[in-house]
Structure 1
């Protein structure tokens, strides 16, 4: 893959200030913001996917906590879409999973700085406050230096392993850190240019209430906790509230109407087959590809 010509262009993108114009193309359907109105949308997709290569995907997984041994790789290879860690997964492992027909995306957190990453020494100067639940720090995405490391060093290194694209996490940190919204939009713009030049895939998750300006840059959107959530305070797996459930399903339908492939990741009580089936059925009826897991993302079953 030849990305060198784009690196210079990315340097310009990184330093650009956000424009005031709307980023949603006028050709997109006019989807109502009202949750009740959205609930009337038929669950079957009504537009073609932005990324045609994903049209055959009907299953997915993101086992970030699982060991990628030969058995796990063999199982992942049979899925439509797979997300694995962008740094620790090797090029040969990526190729093995792809050999079965799966589209493989590299996981990369763009809204936090993780102390265990090889790039941490360069990034730690851009730390905001700690996110104790995950033992990482929110990132000062507004800083050009942070964006430069992310888009000109980290992302190209991951893509160089042969990944089909990137799964960008923690974009929704801008909800609690609105001052980071402009910088985050620059990240999505730059990542989109980097990945899409080779026909790759950009995915992200959550944040439907704060990411409207970034939707033109993505091909896939995952919604966690559409039906079941892991409650970190009580350390239990439980259903989300009816209001949360309705809002999540409505967001999934809106995204799908924009031609975005939609996914869900739910956390039903481990071993509860009825809860698992309930979560998967609700997601499928909203036009999304479901996956359920433990909070550590360590199990494929």
Structure 2
């Protein structure tokens, strides 16, 4: 009997095919999530898991963040090198700035505590601040924003514009407007978190000359309960109000982002369908402190 002798290529072909397939799976870029808010994510060694070296933790965190197209981060936890890594991965990073309130643990607390207007409900270490004060405005736009721009962030995520809802005075509105105007020199896009009263007035007065490019709204579909650390569905009237507001913002040319807390699978499916239809981006946080990981 004559043995059939195969060529080396035919013998190796299945193995080569398998190796090429594995290389393709490893190198092929995963589909990125659109949006994530991770204010509680820390790059410092204090947050490292037991037995995990801080450098390993930093790499793991950056790999995690690179799975998103756009992320919102606390600027103090990141370096230029971190942001360069994210940029190379195709991820845009917005830096969080607390414009309308002051935390009692912040380095600038002693300097500005006299500007406190009232306690911030559910956040006992925070108070609303008088944004009409020029020194506060300059601190935000000249100190905080400049450091953020030098680090290499892609944009600003400005929080607590709801101070105008809490204190609906013209000087508060104008103070927030001044902050926005002074930030224009950095030529970086701006997202406002909350602040529906401020945004609605801005849309009514001069929607063609807005000083910000996007809005983020929390709790459109969910309602977070601070007492029990649980989340339930938002009441229909509030949900309808926010949807109407966000759709008006979109019609004015603004990008729209939604941040929900612990939406279950059924509600998440509904939110995803709504956001796809409206061309909004949304993120489902696992908890109120916005650490890594989704609900």
Same topology, TM > 0.5:
yes
Could you say which residue in structure 2 is the equivalent of 1:4?
none
For residue 91 of structure 1, the aligned residue among 80, 96, 100 is 80
For residue 272 of structure 2, the aligned residue among 256, 261, 280 is 280
Give the distance between the partners of 1:113 and 1:105, measured in 2 at CA. 20
For residue 194 of structure 1, the aligned residue among 172, 175, 185 is 185
Q: Shift of the alpha carbon at 1:118?
A: 2.6
Q: Is the 8 A contact 2:200 2:245 kept in 1?
A: no
The reply on whether 1:122 has 2:116 as its aligned counterpart is no
Count of residue pairs the alignment pairs up? 239
Change (3 A) 1:214 1:116: farther
Q: Greater relative contact order (Cα 8 A, min sep 6): structure 1 or 2?
A: 1
Q: Is the 8 A contact 1:94 1:162 kept in 2?
A: yes
Give the distance between the partners of 1:238 and 1:182, measured in 2 at CA. 36
Could you say which residue in structure 2 is the equivalent of 1:217?
211
Q: Is the 8 A contact 2:103 2:127 kept in 1?
A: yes
Bigger drift between 103-112 and 151-160 goes to: 151-160
Task: Tell me the TM-score normalised to structure 1 length.
Answer: 0.73
Q: Secondary structure at the match of 2:105?
A: coil
Give the distance between the partners of 2:112 and 2:150, measured in 1 at CA. 21
For residue 59 of structure 1, the aligned residue among 34, 40, 49 is 34
Could you say which residue in structure 2 is the equivalent of 1:258?
252
For residue 208 of structure 1, the aligned residue among 196, 199, 203 is 196
The reply on whether 1:164 has 2:154 as its aligned counterpart is yes
State the structure with more CA Rg: 2
Q: Shift of the alpha carbon at 1:91?
A: 2.1
User: 4+ residue runs of structure 1 moved beyond 3 angstroms?
Assistant: 212-215
The reply on whether 1:297 has 2:290 as its aligned counterpart is yes
Q: Secondary structure at the match of 2:151?
A: coil
RMSD: 2.0
Specify every segment of 5 or more residues in structure 1 that has no aligned partner in the other structure, as ranges.
1-56
Q: Secondary structure at the match of 1:160?
A: helix
Which protein has the bigger helix share?
A: 2
Give the distance between the partners of 2:230 and 2:65, measured in 1 at CA. 28
